[in-house]
Amino acid sequence: MKKYKFKINGISYEVQIKDLEDNIARIEVNGTSYKVELEKEIRTSKTPKLIRKPIEQQPNEGHIIKQSSSGLYEVRSPLPGTILKVNISVGDSVVEGQNLIVMEAMKMENQVQSLKSGTVKKIKVKSGDTVMQDDILIEIEQPV
């Protein structure tokens, strides 16, 4: 494999590493073979370990929630992020495809649009709020 030349106390040594498996090395020193056990150095991680609290599921978390047929449409956050601007007010009429909110997610500005037309009943966020994916941002009442 590799050859090295050492000089120890004025004596020259030619060392050749023949094989290295786990912590046992087969080496040859000036033509004589030896098996050498290597000490493994315990390395400490430079990266700190993140210690997180165990995740506690809320009641009904992870279940599909059907939207009520009461005519309310909930605009939900597509990604976790921060609300930068709310473009509408309670009582405004909105149309399908209208930009309702500008949010920053993954270092990009994203437009949250309405998928339904109707009247804004409730705005549950304001500029600067941090939201998680699927958080309800706005409730829109649909015409009957």
Q: Are residues 131 and 77 located together in one domain of the fold?
A: yes
Tally of structural domains, the chain: 2
Question: Is 9 within a domain?
Answer: yes
Same domain for 24 and 77?
no
Whether residue 143 has pLDDT greater than 60 = yes
pLDDT at 91: 93
Which of the four pLDDT bands, split at 50, 70 and 90, describes residue 93? very high
Tell me the residue range of the domain where 13 lies: 2-37
Is 94 a member of any domain? yes
pLDDT at 120 over 80: yes
The answer as to whether 63 is a domain residue is no
Least reliable range by pLDDT among 37-51, 55-69, 105-119: 55-69
Same domain? 79 vs 132 = yes
Same domain assignment for residues 78 and 132: yes
Q: Cβ distance 72 to 121 under 8 Å?
A: yes
Give the count of alpha carbons within 13 A of 27, CB side only.
17
For residue 5, pLDDT over 60 is answered with yes
Q: Confidence class of residue 80 from pLDDT cuts 50, 70 and 90? A: very high
Which is nearest to 61 in space by CA: 130, 5, 135? 135
Residues 86 and 28 occupy one common structural domain: no
Lowest mean pLDDT among 44-53, 67-76, 107-116: 44-53
Residue 125 lies in a domain: yes
Q: Is residue 128 part of a domain?
A: yes
64 inside domain = no
CATH at 102? 2.40.50.100
- ∠ CA 76-81-86 to the nearest 5 degrees? 65
Q: Is residue 59 part of a domain?
A: no
Q: Which of 106, 136, 108 is nearest to 123 (CA)?
A: 136
Residue 61: which pLDDT band, with cuts at 50, 70 and 90?
low
Q: Does any domain span residue 85? A: yes
